[in-house]
Structure 1
Amino acid sequence: MRIELDTDKCQGHLRCMDLAPELFDCNDLGYGTLLSSGPIPEELEPVARRCAANCPERAIALHPVDIR
């Protein structure tokens, strides 16, 4: 699974960072940022889903990773 953060939608609530500091951080302006743009470890997929579900702006999207 891969996470996408739409920085145009992000309003800086930082619920993502609170729920998954291993996946998200914040920038100097207080908006969420991704710590990695690649696939996330399988054990972090549940927390990534929780982050996406808790984002008020729906700025977090989850995508399957094609492993051909």
Structure 2
Amino acid sequence: MEAEDRARKAVEWTVITNVMFLLATASATLIIGLTPLIWALWVAWAALCGVAVWSLVRFARFDRSP
């Protein structure tokens, strides 16, 4: 149960982080105008976070320690 709570919190914080990063990316795109580079960085960041969340959820699913 505790492992599932940790995984849920990790997913929530990852979503919050991605939303904040997306807002910062949109702001930087409007201000600086480096659209392709900034969006490529955001896609790479989102993919990295997705792999991290998948790993945490998978780990929590099999973590049955007392």
For normalisation by structure 1, the TM-score amounts to: 0.31
* Higher fraction of helix: 2
Larger radius of gyration: 2
* Higher fraction of strand: 1
Higher relative contact order (CA 8 A, sep 6+): 2
For normalisation by structure 2, the TM-score amounts to: 0.32
